[in-house]
């Protein structure tokens, strides 16, 4: 099961991320989780929102370059080693991880790992065979609340 993530390309200057957050809030779009990576000249904000189509349209209307990507969200126990088991599963399957970020919900209970893989189908097959639960967009949005 894939979910859609939006990626926004920003100039690396003060106020850019806060403006995106204000724009999405004004459009009544909830951000479940986000990751920010930067270079000296630009940043890439990756986020899971409760309505990626509406978010993409709103941000493009505001002049931002936005891309939609398929990612995989995996639910794991929020405890030491929770992520290690997933990594071992993916290593055994020979799956390449392009990037990942995570968030916890119900602290001490569950965490969600978001991955972009070189081969999403191969990763999903390995995760499911190992008994891991992948989440859909609605489940990720609910977990982020």
Q: Indicate if 51 and 7 belong to the same structural domain.
A: yes
Q: Indicate if 75 and 90 belong to the same structural domain.
A: yes
For residue 29, which of 62, 8, 52, 12 has the smallest C-alpha distance?
Answer: 52
Q: Final residue of a domain: which of 23, 43, 69? A: 69
> In which band, very low, low, confident or very high, does the pLDDT at 117 lie, cut at 50, 70 and 90?
very high
Q: Indicate if 103 and 138 belong to the same structural domain.
A: yes
Q: What is the pLDDT of residues 30-88, one digit of tens each?
A: 998 999 987 777 889 999 999 999 999 999 999 999 999 999 999 998 888 889 999 99
Q: Final residue of a domain: which of 40, 69, 98? A: 69
Q: Residue 137 in contact with residue 106, Cβ under 8 Å?
A: no
Show the 3-state SS of 100-119. EEEEEECCCCEEEEEEEECC
Residue ranges making up the domain that contains 82:
71-143
Q: Indicate if 102 and 135 belong to the same structural domain.
A: yes
Q: Which CATH number covers residue 59?
A: 3.30.2130.10
What SS3 class is residue 143? helix
Q: What is the pLDDT of residue 31?
A: 92
Which whole number is the average pLDDT over 2-12? Answer: 91
- pLDDT of 108 > 80? The answer is no
pLDDT > 70 in the chain, percent: 97
């Amino acid at each position: 099961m894939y979910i859609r993530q939006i990626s926004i390309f920003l100039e690396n200057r003060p106020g850019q991320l806060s403006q995106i957050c204000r724009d999405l809030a004004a459009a009544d779009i909830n951000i479940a989780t986000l990751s920010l990576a930067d270079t000296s000249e630009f940043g890439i904000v990756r986020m899971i929102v409760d309505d990626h189509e509406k978010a993409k349209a709103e941000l493009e209307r505001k002049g931002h370059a936005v891309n939609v990507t398929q990612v995989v969200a995996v639910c794991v126990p929020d405890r030491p080693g929770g992520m290690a088991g997933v990594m071992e599963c993916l290593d055994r399957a020979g799956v390449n991880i392009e990037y990942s970020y995570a968030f916890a919900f119900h602290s001490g209970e569950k965490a969600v790992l978001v991955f972009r893989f070189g081969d999403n189908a191969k990763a999903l097959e390995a995760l499911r065979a190992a008994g891991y639960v992948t989440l859909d967009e609605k489940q990720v949005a609910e977990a982020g609340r």
